[in-house]
Amino acid sequence: RWLQSRWGSKAMAARGMQRHVINCVTKNGKTRGGIQRTLRSPLVAVKMGMTSAWDDNGAMHPVTLLQVQQCQVVQVKTEESDGYFAMQIGAGNKHPSRMTKAQLCHYQKHNALPKKRLFEFRVTEDALLPPGTELSARHFVPGQYVDVTGISMGKGFQGVMKRWGFGGQPASHGHSLSHRSGGSLGGLTHCGRVFPGKKMAGHMGSRQVTVLGLMIFHVDPLNNIIAVRGAVPGHINNYLRIRDSIRLAHHQHNMRLGLPVPTAEEVPEEEREEKMALQTVPTSFLKNPFTYKEE
Amino acid sequence: KVAAGERSVGTVHRGKLRGNIREAWEHREIERLTAARDPSMFDDFDVGDQIVVRHVDVDSPGRYLTFGGVCIAKYGGNKLMRSFRLRNHVDGVGVEVHFLYYAPHIKGIQLLKKKTRATKRAKWYFLRDKPPKEYTVTWKEKELKLPRPAK
């Protein structure tokens, strides 16, 4: 009777959040059956906009451009010092004159440049990097699946029809003053109250949203841009967290591709031209929508 | 560093994208798609001209199809989604086809006849209300200099 989800607490349920992903890689890198998998560090990127991309089959795909801007490992947390393995990653260089001495010392201590935003990510021990390491778009491989997390676009105070998808009431036939309202709030005899989490009008958007299972279409190492197939939450110039997909099927697909653990190596001068060229997803990963099945 | 007045414009300089990144990416895509096609097979055309487009048959690869007609509209200017619309009267039915100019499945565009009407319009939607003979376009396969599929 509570708006209670099977997996979450009442507080989470009250906000209408449910966790649907069952077959996934957990925060510790474990999957069903207790198998330990490698959790690489996610990256922080900025949403640049959306365009279209054509593949070799001739089909068109919507892609979102994400630019990895000055992503650097700032602090590394280990089992001995903090009790868990994690990396603190900074994104976007910031002028030292705009930072407090305490903040500057934090960056100096870990050999990193002052950053605009800091994010902490849980990783497994084999994916740890030394502090000060620069992360680039080569961390990801075209054809792999990623999850993108960001703050969704704010919609302000919205009514129940837009916010929760309610049906409203008919426009005519005598219905007075309540065409878009929520209708009844519940019963009287059995409960006599309104349940916590009852869907009502209120602030919509500007919440953290994760989109699972997006395929990486292009990786542009020279400009540190990742083109991801589909849409991601938030507005342009929004900070996004890109991580390897936690869905088990996608994780297995990524393993078969061979992702660079802990991150891609630096490219020497001789191989620079070929390694820094634009990489596209192999055609074998894309379904040809034009083939006609004879019945 | 990009000057303050030019940050909204995207440019590609020796592989590096500057300014408006999305716009610069699209410019680079346009260059890549244009470089991949034979420039002699693509004629310039304007609204009102009679054009023939040869494109790959998506259902049967290795086979080319041709569609021709009067160009009644051009969209997108210099952008990646630049497109145009052709209208023709085929088998007793008026047909309009919207083509994306930079689509990789378009193999050639040939100009048959420049516009003869004195109308100065950017879009020729008025042809939809005109009798079919105003927008019927016919051609002979021998006159076309468009690519043919390799056997």
CA geometry: angle at A276 spanning A130 and A59, to 5°? 115
Interface residues of chain A, partner chain B, Cβ below 8 Å: 48-54, 58, 60, 65, 67, 220, 222-223, 225, 227, 276, 290, 292
Query: Whole-angstrom Cα distance, residue A159 to residue A201?
Result: 4
**Would you say B36 and B27 are in contact if contact means Cβ atoms under 8 Å apart?**
no
Q: What is the pLDDT of residue A24?
A: 84
Query: Whole-angstrom Cα distance, residue B57 to residue A100?
Result: 63
Per-residue pLDDT for A255 more than 50?
Answer: yes
What average pLDDT does the segment A227-242 reach? Answer: 96
Residue B149 DSSP symbol: -
Of the residues B2, B8, B22, B64, the best mutation for testing chain A's interface (the one with the most A CB atoms within 10 Å of its CB) is B22
Per-residue pLDDT for B8 more than 70?
Answer: yes
Q: Which chain A residues are within 8 Å of B29, Cβ to Cβ?
A: 51, 53
Query: Whole-angstrom Cα distance, residue A152 to residue A149?
Result: 9
What confidence tens digit (pLDDT) does each residue in A195-227 have? 888 888 999 999 999 999 999 999 999 999 999
Q: Which chain A residues are within 8 Å of B100, Cβ to Cβ?
A: 60
Average per-residue pLDDT for chain A: 88
pLDDT-above-90 percentage for chain A: 61
What confidence tens digit (pLDDT) does each residue in B121-133 have? 999 999 999 999 9
Q: Secondary structure of A30-91 in the HEC alphabet?
A: EECCCEECCCCCCEEEEEEEEEEEECCCCCEEEEEEEECCCEEEEEEECCCCCCCCEEEEEE
What confidence tens digit (pLDDT) does each residue in A279-295 have? 999 988 888 877 766 76
Number of A–B residue contacts, CB under 8 Å: 43
Specify the range with the lowest mean pLDDT, choosing from A22-36, A53-67, A124-138, B129-143: A22-36
Our CA-based measurement puts residue A279 at a distance from the nearest CA of chain B, in whole angstroms, of: 13
Determine, for residues B22 and A292 on separate chains, whether the beta-carbon distance falls below 8 Å: no
What is the band of A20 on the pLDDT scale with cuts at 50, 70, 90?
A: low
Query: Whole-angstrom Cα distance, residue A113 to residue A131?
Result: 11
First to last CA, chain B: 52
Determine, for residues B22 and A223 on separate chains, whether the beta-carbon distance falls below 8 Å: no
Query: Whole-angstrom Cα distance, residue A92 to residue A181?
Result: 44
Instruction: Give the residue on A whose Cα is nearest the Cα of B102.
Output: A54
Our CA-based measurement puts residue A292 at a distance from the nearest CA of chain B, in whole angstroms, of: 7
Determine, for residues B22 and A54 on separate chains, whether the beta-carbon distance falls below 8 Å: no
Determine, for residues A51 and B80 on separate chains, whether the beta-carbon distance falls below 8 Å: yes
Residue B134 three-state SS: helix
Q: What is the pLDDT of residue A4?
A: 46
Q: How many CB atoms lie within 10 A of CB B22?
A: 20
Q: What is the pLDDT of residue A179?
A: 84
Our CA-based measurement puts residue A86 at a distance from the nearest CA of chain B, in whole angstroms, of: 32
